[in-house]
Structure 1
């Protein structure tokens, strides 16, 4: 987590520690490990996951109660939403990923792993993924259209059909609402069918990123921030400005209001992929040739 915090901020004094995706995955893995250690049956794990994923949005009604004021623990467990908490003078933790909903999702993913075991044929797996995917999309459509449950923010009609559509699918990720999970996991399940069914040279190459996902994640943060630092100096800024701005800004070498148009963001994204692909490919081969090194399974 501290390696990731440094990648985001480039601040060696750790004035800001973001509790983001790695924090949520890490603590969720610990909780999942405990549940597995207790040797709970799969049906119990599925029940725990279902209660969390289907029920955590009920807490949204509490949050809308007049006079409700969340504290640190409430934000840590459920809300967060980029809220900073000072734990020492000029040092903050930034709550980005409240972990409880993500823990529920990780438990569900662990249980879903059985679908990809040798005990399940490809035809059976495709059927399960297809029915589950379409069911999630249908649930999303019904609940989202009705504005009854599943996301803290209702959709509303906008000035154009396109903007209305974007507002309709604009669901909450921090924490992941029930509708967010439905509209992301549903299509993803259908995509899994297509990718397994129509495997080719291209899909085999991009699967390298999947096999080295954590390794890529760490490298891409440092590379992007390095490119941002180069752009910082290319715009005529001095190192003294970065040091001075560190007193008020959480991210070094990033000035609010300075950035790139959307097309520029896509160019940088593609450049990062090109730079890191051969590195990830090398690491993928290294992992396959050194399976005895246990720590490689975690990176």
Structure 2
């Protein structure tokens, strides 16, 4: 029953996204454009506003996520256990990963000659002239993402265990 409800909600959200995007009039400030090249048209179609989150952004991301939840709900084994740890401490992971990635960005800036002080930003990073050219290739970003997730697993597992053994601390449920 639950899987059926989740599947229906996920498919409905994706269908509403496709309808609104197809109409090209409501739900996102960016209109899509038809190009001669199919891949450019697809990129334009899926170019949606994340900040602030538009209705279309919420529909497609939550729709896919809810469908994935319905599909993966019965998974078990070591891989499922690995991801469940993060699911039990999501806010804790979110806060810790921001600080870790910021620290890594400061180190990268220093090692690549930009200086860590350049990352003390007073305006959006793309408008800071001192940081032109700063960054990594996409494959490196994915590699760092994997390293961050794997490296935060032990601390998240520890915190998960701490939460389970200290249920009297009500505030832990928010982390």
- Which TM-score applies when normalising by structure 1? 0.52
Q: 1:171-217 CA distances to partner (integer Å, 9 max, x unpaired)?
A: 12222222222211112121111111333321121111111111111
Supply the distance in 2 between the matched residues of 1:141 and 1:247 (Cα, whole angstroms): 38
Structure number with larger C-alpha Rg: 1
Instruction: Identify the residue that residue 279 of structure 1 maps to in structure 2.
Output: 155
Q: Distance in 2 between matches of 1:151 and 1:238?
A: 38
1:259 pairs with one of 111, 135, 140: 135
Between the aligned partners of 2:54 and 2:166, the Cα distance in structure 1 is 40
CA distance in 2, matches of 1:204, 1:247: 38
SS in structure 2 opposite 1:197?
A: coil
Residue 249 of structure 1: CA displacement? 5.5
Counterparts of 1:135 and 1:201, CA distance in 2: 32
Higher mean alpha-carbon deviation, 184-193 vs 150-159, is at: 150-159
- Equivalent residues, number: 171
Q: Please, what is the CA RMSD of the aligned residues?
A: 2.3
Partner of 2:29: 152
Whichever structure has more helix as a proportion of its residues is: 2
1:238 is displaced (CA, Å) by 5.0
Residue 297 (structure 1) aligns with? 173
- Cα offset, 1:162, TM superposition: 1.6
Work out whether 1:200 is the aligned partner of 2:96.
no
Is contact 2:29–2:49 with CA below 8 Å preserved after alignment? yes
Aligned pairs for 1:61-76 within 5 A: none
User: Separation in 2 of the partners of 1:284 and 1:248?
Assistant: 36
Cα offset, 1:270, TM superposition: 1.0
2:55 maps to 178
1:21-44 residue CA offsets vs partner (Å, 9 max, x unmatched): xxxxxxxxxxxxxxxxxxxxxxxx
Q: CA deviation at 1:289?
A: 0.4
Unaligned runs of 5+ in 1: 1-123
Alignment of 1:15-94 (within 5 A): none
1:25-68 residue CA offsets vs partner (Å, 9 max, x unmatched): xxxxxxxxxxxxxxxxxxxxxxxxxxxxxxxxxxxxxxxxxxxx
Measured in 2, the distance between the counterparts of 1:274 and 1:290 equals 25
How far apart are the structure 2 equivalents of 1:235 and 1:192? 41
Q: How far did 1:263 drift?
A: 0.6
Query: Deviation at 1:272?
Result: 0.9
Deviating runs (4+, > 3 A) in structure 1? Answer: 236-239, 245-251
State the Cα deviation string for residues 139-169 of structure 1 (Å, max 9, x = none): 1112211113222221111352122112111
Instruction: Tell me which residue corresponds to 2:65.
Output: 188
1:212 corresponds to: 89
TM-score by length of 2: 0.86
Q: Aligned partners of 2:168, 2:120: CA distance in 1, in Å?
A: 43
**Unmatched 5+ stretches in structure 2:** none
Q: In structure 1, the residue corresponding to 2:12 is in which secondary structure?
A: helix
